[in-house]
Amino acid sequence: MDTLTFTVYVRNNSFFKFVSLCALFLFLHPLLAQEPAAQEPAYDFPEDALSLEEDKGTTVTGSLEPTRQTRVVSKEDIERIHAPTVTALLEELFDLGATSYGPYGNAASVNIRGMGSGRVAILVDGTPVNSAQSGTFNLESVGVNAIERIEVTYGGADSEFNVSGAMGGIINIVTVNHHQRGLRFGGGVSSTGSLPGAYQKRDGSRGDAEFRDLLDAQNVNAFVSKGWGGGAGENAFSFSASVFANRAENHFLFDDYYGVKRRRINNEVWDAGAAISLSGMFADLTRLVYSGGLYYGDKNTPGAMTAVNYGKQRDFSTRQALFLDNPAVFRSLFRDALAVEASVSYTGERIGYEDIPLSAAGASLHTLHTLRVINRWSWYAAKTLALKTGWDYAYNHLDSTNTGVQDAHTAGVYLTGEWGGAVRLIPSVKLAFSGDSLVPVPKLGFAWRATETISFFNNYFRVFKLPTFNDRYWAGDATARGNPALRPEDGWGSDIGARYTGVFTLDAAVYASYVKDSIHWRAVNSVWTPVNIGAAAFFGADARIQKEFFFPAGIMRGFIRTITPSFSYQRLLSYILTEGLTFASGIRMPYMPEHAFGAALDVRWKTGSLRLSGHYTGTRYTETLNIIKLKPYVLLNLAINQTIMAHSLNARPPQIMAFCVLRNMLNVSYVSVQDYPMQGFTATVGVKAEFER
């Protein structure tokens, strides 16, 4: 396996020492400056103001009344659908749009409100992880079994994390949890098969059914967690670790351009990963948390449709983060109303790629190191007033055969206020630093709780994103070249929406955004290069409605506990406004469908559950001229879980659950990205076991 060497070159040593000393002070100060409480607190801050909640893991200090449109799914919901990847999980549970170059192990990304490809900020445990080289993040490097919950924030209105570049929204993947006292361990195995059948080979001859496709992919995972210490039910420390490994041949039948049945090959993947977290509570509610992860993948990456050549890619990545949290720092001075959190993190990734057979361009190797420091303070001055401030700094060092050696420093400082009673006002501004530029990013949010069950929100915000290393400096062959003269993407947006949490749950919003200097790669004199294409406008609406029906024990003999139908809809009108194009031209952004529907039916009983879900993706265009059109498609999935051995009141035998998942039940032949087919019908069977001591 390739090794990763941590090498950081800093041109300004004094600046780096200053930042390091500041970070050290911020970590140690809350531990050293605690004083006994002498008075009653001035403000009994909300439960979600704690950075580390008993059942929620790591997050930032809470809002009095957030104006953002946000949705959260729990570990229980995640475990019930057995998604093979985080991308599939986001597509199925959140109905987010996804683009993928194939099944497991292939490049994939998600989009929010028409923004994708690096314009959505990905966070792991509250720390940004988007690559400074490509702008994206390999979601498969986070094992699904390590996730405690996922939070999705829609649009650019977020004033909690204040992440630069979050144009479409934020996806926060939480892996840390403060586990209950005792020992838990277990794991699972599963196997996935696709439909075999006759097909036409590349030489035109007939290929017989390959029945090994019935055992196309396997997954193995395991976990352990333990909580201990404290008194009267309080856990002082907790530890958790998880590992996973996958083997995926990715052999499946598909229809080519002419409707001829083919079989996908040269897409084999072997990968493995691990995640670990350790948290401890010290005096006066101070908590210290470590979170880390590793990932390695050995992948064959095929070309378009029936291409003979393919690539060999080897990925290695690691992430390490240390968090400090105290919800009541300087207790005597601020009367338990001042909260602080700080983190320092390192992420490293090494990607190697070569063509098979080896091309004239040779192999390429990219090694990226990122060191990041974040500090946030929240002062809950009164029941109707909170002030927040914070800063972040990141240093990126890239050594690449295609970009050379590149360094970048980015930083930001922000100030946010939250004021009001039934009507809330949340102004915020962040100053983003990069190189010689200083960019203000203002936001203004309103929230109105009309009744106990009805609330409204309204936001106005600026969005801003810097070009990536690849955008600016890519070189090394005659087919593609970066553009050092690129301008940052810049724009404005707004949304207005409502929430209802009465007889049923309804969350709906309409939004609009305008982005100028949008960066896209296009062929210029037969050489692909990134350019600022001018401007783009987005207008959309989304809504999700859900109703949970409870059944008393006497009804249906207590077999069915709950039935929960849900439905979602997104409409997006995108317009490219450049090179003489206007709204009347009607030219859409690539890979952004106008219509998308999602529907699900969840049925739970005492010992198991069933989830039937469907997702419709409308027509998409593949390029900015809107000449090539991709057909709409519908995916229908079914997941069934059944406990076959459960914990009892007087003993702790292992809890064993069997599951079966059917994906793409209609066996639809479709593509997510032009020329890259996706799998048809697949069936996954598996078993999970959990032990408690």
Task: Tell me the Ramachandran region of residue 619: left when phi exceeds 0, alpha when psi lies from -120 to 50, beta otherwise.
Answer: beta
- Residue 203 has what pLDDT? 83
Give SS3 for 515. strand
- Residue 661 has what pLDDT? 97
- The total number of structural domains that make up the chain: 1
Alpha-helical runs (H) found in 292-438: 331-334
- Residue 360 has what pLDDT? 57
Separation in Å, CA 216 to CA 199, 209, 231, 324, 415: 17, 13, 50, 44, 52
- Residue 51 has what pLDDT? 38
- Residue 334 has what pLDDT? 74
**Any domain includes 313:** yes
Closest CA to 275 of 211, 222, 210: 222
Query: Where do we find the tokens 């301008």?
Result: 487
Structure tokens at 17: 């020492």
**Any domain includes 603:** yes
Q: Which residues contact 671 (CB under 8 A, 6 or more apart)?
A: 630, 677, 678
Separation in Å, CA 156 to CA 33, 90, 418, 439, 505: 36, 19, 17, 16, 24
| Pairwise CA distance, residues 94 & 72, whole Å | 9
**Any domain includes 7:** no
Structure tokens at 488: 């940052």
**Any domain includes 3:** no
- For 106-143, b where at least 16 C-beta lie within 10 A, e where not — what string? bbbbbbbbbbbbbbbbbbbbbbbbbbbbbbbbbbbbbb
- Report the run of H or E that residue 16 belongs to, with start and end: helix 13-32
CA 638 to chain centroid, in Å, comes to: 23
Q: Which residues contact 250 (CB under 8 A, 6 or more apart)?
A: 102, 103, 104, 105, 106, 216, 217, 264, 267, 268, 269, 679
Give SS3 for 307. coil
**Any domain includes 8:** no
Is residue 357 reached through a cis peptide bond, with omega within 30 degrees of 0 on the bond before it? Answer: yes
Q: Please give the residue range of the domain that contains residue 502.
A: 13-692
Tell me the CATH number at 174: 2.40.170.20
**Any domain includes 385:** yes
**Any domain includes 4:** no
131 strand-pairing partners: none
Q: Report mean pLDDT in 10-residue bins for the chain, 693 residues.
A: 30 37 38 35 37 40 70 92 93 92 92 89 93 93 93 91 90 84 91 95 90 96 88 70 96 91 94 94 84 96 84 95 87 79 95 79 88 94 90 96 94 93 92 86 94 95 93 85 92 96 95 92 83 91 95 70 95 92 92 95 93 96 90 96 74 83 96 93 96 86
- pLDDT tens for each residue of 205-240: 999 999 999 999 999 999 999 988 765 445 588 899
| Pairwise CA distance, residues 163 & 436, whole Å | 19
CB of 662 closer than 8 Å to CB of 635:
no
**Any domain includes 97:** yes
- Report the run of H or E that residue 93 belongs to, with start and end: helix 86-93
Q: What's the chain's Rg over C-alpha atoms?
A: 25
Structure tokens at 91: 């597509």
- Residue 609 has what pLDDT? 95
Structure tokens at 303: 């070309």
| Pairwise CA distance, residues 529 & 206, whole Å | 41
Give SS3 for 357. coil
